Amino acid sequence: MADSDFPGWHGTTIIGVKKGGEVVVAGDGQVSLGQTVIKGTARKVRRLSPGGHDVVAGFAGSTADAFTLLERLEAKLEATPGQLQRACVELAKDWRTDKYLQKLEAMLIVTDGADLFVITGAGDVLEPEHDVAAIGSGGNYALAAARALIDGPDDAETIARRAMAIASDICVYTNGNLTVEKIGG
């Protein structure tokens, strides 16, 4: 399907960077409706603590759909404590096979500080190469910037912030109002 079939896809940038024993997930704060900025300070990166295990998740796409997926992920994590990959695979299976969930228009980046995954509605649970993942309308810009910076001296948070700054300069659906969550290290 074309991007125009999914109007919720345009409106955010989320990046996950894994380096030096820590993972940082950062997201911008812009919420757009068509060509209008509705809000500039949204929190699209959340810390979940199911069963006492810290997980950080960032979402791109429709907000209501993303919250539905975050609730489902939290339930999967409670059922499989400390097993992020298993919980992600179970969520992706449900997302792909459940008629209600199939209609959800969002993507997630999740981490427990050890693993970093992208979860899509196509049933994918992707572990990124080069320890960098990005989603959303400015995701490719942030991904390219972070990949260029990953082998340098900067830590994960600095790389994520610099990559997001580059994405916000290029993508009109991304702003510089960041929510940053760090885990591990």
Residues serving a catalytic function are: 12
Tokens of 141: 């810009």
Minimal CA–CA distance to 165: which of 147, 144, 142, 181? 142
Number of H helices, E strands in the chain: 4, 11
Q: Kindly give, in sequence order, each residue whose CB lies less than 8 Å from that of residue 105, ignoring residues fewer than 6 positions away.
A: 6, 8, 9, 61, 62, 65, 121
Tokens of 74: 């939290």
Position 132, amino acid: V
Rounded Cα distance between 67 and 52, Å, is 20
